[in-house]
Amino acid sequence: MSEEQTCQRCGETVELSQEDFELFERMHPECFHFAFEHDLNKPGLSETEDCGDPACPSA
């Protein structure tokens, strides 16, 4: 049996290998981005705006 992996940020199920899930601090890659990377350069940046990171889900 595999335990369900739940995102620490949005609460949705995360379909990643356990290794990748741990790598992203138990979040979706995009939730990890918003939590730790998205507003690094522009503090307070809205999640709907592109932060300039090529990996940004809002780009």
Residues that bind Zn ion (CB under 5 A): 7, 9-10, 28, 31, 38, 51, 53, 56
- Angle at CA of residue 44, ends 24 and 54, nearest 5°: 50
Nearest Cα to 28, choosing from 48, 44, 6, 45?
Answer: 6
Between 2 and 10, whose beta carbon lies closer to Zn ion?
A: 10
Give least dist CB 47 to Zn ion, A. Answer: 8
Q: Distance from CA of residue 48 to its chain's centroid?
A: 14
Between 2 and 36, whose beta carbon lies closer to Zn ion?
A: 36
CA gap 16, 32 in Å, rounded: 13
Give least dist CB 51 to Zn ion, A. Answer: 3
Give least dist CB 56 to Zn ion, A. Answer: 3
